[in-house]
Chains A and B, each alone.
Chain A
């Protein structure tokens, strides 16, 4: 009977079902061990945490889709967060502060995009460089000290604390962002251009796609969403902390690569799933009072194991290889 089912479903579906199964299993385990797992309070906490990770991961997803890597987004986010914090500390209203924070993030995204998309400089190195500069700039506001002033009175905390229809505001932002991203990447022409650019740049150019533009936009989106995520963290913590966004790096990559493992390519849904997966595991571990340093271990191991697992399934599909030396011949039959 299981064999029949197995044969009916394609390999892709098997993977998706398997991961859903694991997720449900994990959730059930946590519920059984800790009744509080399913409490409203915990679920809200879970989603607040997940929203932040998910937003940063979403931005990074665009960069991965166009075939690049971004090592700056978490540091740019820190700078954005501190910029907003500084403004609030100086007495400005939350809205302009947040907007300025997002703006500086955009600028860094643009710089990344231009150097990598237009001038073809190597993405990893450039983003490590720009990220470092951003992080350093973030320290300038207060020499690295926490910024407290005006936080309570300014209303900045409302961003994290307010709820719309019982849903925490950060989660609302996540839902909106993911919805827009889904529409763009899966339903619009722009999405096709992004995927085409990452799939094969040359074919994309020959198809009339302005690949440089899309690479630039991808980096801008990555910086922007990461800035947003870090500002949310700032709001949640109630203090301007320059290191606020640093922990976004690993979960973001893990979310995306878990998504890739499930869906075979970077996707909005995949990233969301990956973010959910990592957040549930982290949440459960927090309930178990497992120390913070296990976080990285969990996330890294999960990412590595899921990638290995999905690759193993893929290599079981038959692939024809003509030789160990795959030369891409210009003429197939000549």
Chain B
């Protein structure tokens, strides 16, 4: 296992500050709202964190390579709608999941193709793909959500049940994250994606196939977004064609907050998981305190900016003084 080494002063502080912040938040909210500290609520937060975390897993690695994916909310929406549509039409969950995953992931294939083969800037490619996904999501329901009647006992227990007190949904996310952690830290692709984010030239010189890696990452991001979409439909018993901007913002901010933790300025899965929890607690606390969602927008926007500023300051400090013969 890689050694987690502690580096510069303020980054050390920042990393642990965040854990303190989370702790403080939980304490503050617990005091301010009795609803917050109820077991049901806390479980709900963990449950939502589970889905959120799955949605931004792929994004985490894409950000680590220096790219971006703005399409994940819309791919999730699309998948959510397809799932609902198929279930409503009488399909079983098994084939539904398969079809939904296939369809959703194909958006990732498209993004990957545009970026790798046609050299689109990732932002533009994913903006384009998100437009298509969003439109198709709306198309499926003529602009409206698709309701499904009770989805069956198995699904319900998966979505709402818990094991040892932890929501199953959250545990599923943890499992996926543990597997991803393994991929990130123990396999070549995990190594190479960070290498790409730091020094593309060195990667190319080593003969590593950058194209294959990027293609896989964007496809994977769409896959995860699809999984999230399916879970959303199961949880809400309806397909949602519109996933708001706030969602996108939370996801991105989670990744950047998470990048401050653990891996010193680089996006990583454990960090994202913690970031997701922090933001879920924040959202939940705010909702229960009656703080309107637009205040959340402002706070999250500020968090995102603070996160990126901390990361950039740490990079700046770390830049070894390369000029120097004397």
Contacts and interface: CB of A to CB of B under 8 A. Distances in A.
Centre residue among A71, A132, A250 by max chain B CB count within 10 A: A132
Contacts of A144: 292, 294
A116 to B, nearest CB: 11
Contacts of A301: 128, 131-132
Interface in A107-149: 115, 119-122, 124-126, 128-133, 135-140, 143-144
Interface stretch (B22-30, B83-91, B118-126): B118-126
B295 interface: yes
B252 interface: yes
B301 A304 contact: no
A250 B298 contact: no
Interface stretch (B191-199, B223-231, B304-312): B304-312
A143 to B, nearest CB: 6
Given A135-B294, A300-B135, A124 B123 contact: yes
A253 B127 contact: yes
27 contacts: A69-B123, A122-B312, A124-B123, A125-B305, A128-B304, A131-B301, A132-B245, A132-B304, A136-B296, A136-B298, A136-B299, A139-B292, A143-B292, A250-B127, A291-B143, A293-B143, A293-B241, A299-B131, A300-B127, A300-B132, A301-B128, A304-B114, A304-B125, A304-B129, A307-B124, A311-B119, A325-B204
A210 to B, nearest CB: 22
A65 to B, nearest CB: 14
A316 interface: no
Q: Which secondary structure characterizes the binding site on chain B?
A: helix
Contact of B139 (A121, A124, A132, A293): A293
Interface in A233-284: 246, 249-250, 253, 257
A297 B136 contact: yes
A125 B308 contact: yes
A199 interface: no
Nearest to A72: B301
B288 interface: no
Nearest to B135: A297
A136 B299 CA distance: 9
A213 to B, nearest CB: 21
Interface in A281-304: 291-297, 299-301, 303-304
A253 B120 CA distance: 13
A135 B127 contact: no
Contacts of B130: 300
Interface of B: 68, 114, 118-121, 123-125, 127-132, 134-136, 138-139, 142-143, 201, 204-205, 241, 245, 249, 252, 256, 292, 294-302, 304-305, 308-309, 312
A296 B118 contact: no
B302 A135 contact: no
A136 B135 contact: no
Contacts of A207: none
Contacts of A308: 114, 118
B131 A300 contact: yes
Contact of B118 (A136, A311, A325): A311
A10 interface: no
Nearest to B297: A136
Given A122-B308, A136-B295, A303 B128 contact: yes
Interface residues of A, number: 47
A260 to B, nearest CB: 10
A138 B201 CA distance: 44
Q: Quick one: which of B68, B135, B241, B309 has the most chain A CB within 10 A?
A: B135
Contacts of A334: none
A133 B294 CA distance: 9
B110 to A, nearest CB: 8
Given A132-B297, A136-B294, A301-B132, A293 B127 contact: no
A301 B309 CA distance: 35
Nearest to B304: A129
Contacts of B129: 300, 304
Closest 8 A/B residue pairs (Cβ): A300-B131, A293-B138, A132-B301, A139-B294, A297-B135, A136-B297, A136-B298, A133-B301
A129 B305 contact: yes
A140 B294 contact: yes
B115 to A, nearest CB: 12
Given A135-B294, A291-B142, A124 B131 contact: no
Contacts of B138: 291-293
A324 B209 CA distance: 11
A320 interface: no
Most B CB contacts (10 A, CB to CB) among A137, A296, A311 go to: A296
Nearest to A305: B128
A40 interface: no
A69 to B, nearest CB: 6
A130 B294 contact: no
Given A69-B123, A253-B124, 6 more contacts: A69-B121, A137-B298, A291-B143, A296-B131, A307-B118, A327-B201
Contact of B298 (A115, A119, A132, A296): A132
Contacts of A250: 127, 131
B204 A324 contact: yes
A129 B306 CA distance: 9
B123 to A, nearest CB: 6
A161 to B, nearest CB: 29
Nearest to A131: B301
B297 A135 contact: yes
A72 to B, nearest CB: 9
Given A139-B294, A293-B139, A304-B114, A133 B302 contact: yes
B301 A136 contact: yes
Contacts of B302: 129, 133
Contacts of B135: 293-297, 300
